[in-house]
Amino acid sequence: MKSNRKSGDPASNRKGGIPFWEKMQPKKPERAIKKEAASAPKTPRISSAIKSAQSTEKGWDQVAEWYEGLVGNEGSDYHKHVIVPALMNRLGDLKGKRMIDICCGQGFLGKMLRHAGAARVQGIDASPQLIAAARQRHADDAQQHYQVADACQPGAWADGSYDLAICLMAVHDVPDLRGLFQNIGRCLSPHGRALLVFMHPCFRFPQHTHWGWDAEKQIQYRRIDRYGSEHTIHITTHPGRKNSQQTKFYHRPLPSYINALAAAGMAITGCDELFTHRRSQVGPRSRAEHFAAEEFPMFLLWELRLCPALQ
Ligand SMILES: C[S@@+](CC[C@H](N)C(=O)[O-])C[C@H]1O[C@@H](n2cnc3c(N)ncnc32)[C@H](O)[C@@H]1O
């Protein structure tokens, strides 16, 4: 198993809102957050595509504008510094590959995949507004296609033709894990691979895992209050704001994931644990905080392949 833990890059490039995974990090000074938000590039054409798309309750439609502002053209802070580098490292040579980005959101990844040589990128997501953003973003590329679809329901898009399927930061957002994994398996050609990146279920469970400080031992520890059962958490995107939108987070322990993969005829053929690139500011606890940041992973990356023995 590999990890990115020595690749620390303390730079941070926040672009707007605060996703729940960032809220689980040490707090940044308010002025740094405001400065970064002010310097975030504006994408008016994409904002208007979102506004004119039909709004539904599907996927992340309710938070589409906020998510577009957070991710933009280059990805969020964590995409840029942790998730995409680990993904690209695993993807290898993409020349001529047919790729599908499942739960693609606003499609920021498409351009990177095409630059890395992908012949064609298909994106699917349940949110019509985020798909409108993806279409607008890549309107000049005839080899990128975006479609509204529920990743958990059978669909013609899962047609066994893809060399690579990607699903970033979404397996914990879908209610039906087995349905999602069945579809990922159905997308792949016999020698295809899938790559998933998601919140590490052993260490990152919103509202139930926290950092703590042991004054006697002078260590920062990770407190896990709950792990072994499936549980749904409602995440408020802007706590304290009236009528703030909510998304759902589905916590599942490892056997739920692994057994759902086996039921879909897939096996894990690679695994990386990904660590935050962020470092707290210099202070009396910073050494212990940096140590903890390098010991407790934030995301899990799995490489999957169809396994004939399981079919
Ligand atoms: C955290 S976002 C990640 C988006 C993108 N992969 C990224 O990394 O920016 C989760 C995405 O999952 C999508 N989603 C949630 N449930 C879905 C479903 N049942 N089918 C398809 N997409 C879904 C949401 O609309 C949202 O775009």
Instruction: State residue 60's pLDDT score.
Output: 87
Q: Phi then psi for 108, rounded to 5 degrees? A: -60, -30
Distance 102 CA to ligand 1 centre (A): 8
Contacts of 49 (CB under 8 A, 6+ apart): 132, 133, 135, 136
Q: What share of the chain is helix, strand, coil (3-state, %, to 5)?
A: 30, 25, 45
Distance 169 CA to ligand 1 centre (A): 7
The three-class DSSP label of residue 63 is: helix
Q: Which CATH superfamily is domain 2-310 in?
A: Vaccinia Virus protein VP39 (3.40.50.150)
Mean pLDDT of the chain: 88
Residues 49-102: pLDDT tens digits?
888 777 666 778 889 999 999 999 999 999 999 999 999 999 999 999 999 999
Distance CA 238, CA 43 (A): 21
Sign of CA dihedral 150, 151, 154, 157: positive
Distance 179 CA to ligand 1 centre (A): 14
| Ligand 1, atom nearest to 108 Cα | 9
- 13 has a pLDDT exceeding 70: no
Residues 210-233: pLDDT tens digits?
999 999 999 999 999 999 999 999
Distance CA 274, CA 197 (A): 9
Least confident of 31-45, 110-124, 150-164, 255-269: 31-45
- For the chain, give every domain's residue range: 2-310
Which one of 20, 57, 60, 180 would you pick to mutate in the ligand 1 pocket, going by the greatest count of ligand atoms within 8 A of its CB?
A: 60
- 209-214/219-224 β-pairing: antiparallel
Residue 131 near residue 105, CB atoms below 8 Å: no
Residues 147-156: pLDDT tens digits?
999 999 999 9
- Residue closest by Cα to atom 14 of ligand 1: 59
Distance 201 CA to ligand 1 centre (A): 18
Residue 303 near residue 194, CB atoms below 8 Å: yes
